[in-house]
Amino acid sequence: MSGTRDVEFMGLALAQSELAASRGQTPFGAVVVDEGGQVVGEGHNQVRADRDPTAHGEMTALRAAWKRLGSAAALKRCTLYTSCEPCLMCSTAIAQFAIPRVVIAARATDVPGSRPVLGTGMPGVAEWVNRQKGWAPIEVVMDFRREEAARILKAFPWDAPWDGA
């Protein structure tokens, strides 16, 4: 998949990030698309709503895709579109499930106050994975519709209190 399809699917990921923001969640969204071009999972950040530190947009989309597809092995033929560069936790899950292609809009540096653990995210994880024998390679497409994603991030009230604070 590429070109027009990438634009379409990233649009869905960006819509998920806007949905998250409209619900008071941090504006991160993702979709998982199978090899036939069907959306099999979508999700947005739900950390605050679920009180679950693992409920990132990528994780909710991957959970939905696995549930719909019925097997983790089927994820090896999917593409993940995400509104922002995945954190180390999400990147590790993507690598463990051998997602072969990840299309990313905004960079972690576009997020106010971003502090990547170990100074890396998906690009660094993919670089490491791609050097390993026996690991499925990961293609990472960066900055795809980045300006749109950055606008969504910039509009979010990052300093607003949450969780009763």
Q: Is 58 a catalytic residue?
A: yes
Q: For residue 112, what are the CA distances in angstroms to 17, 86, 116, 153, 157? A: 16, 15, 12, 8, 10
Distance CA 147, CA 145 (A): 6
Of the residues 8, 58, 127, 147, only one is catalytic, namely 58
103 beta partners: 81, 141
Task: Tally DSSP H helices, then E strands, for the chain.
Answer: 6, 5
Torsion, Cα of 45, 50, 51, 55 (10° steps): -40
List the catalytic residues. Answer: 58
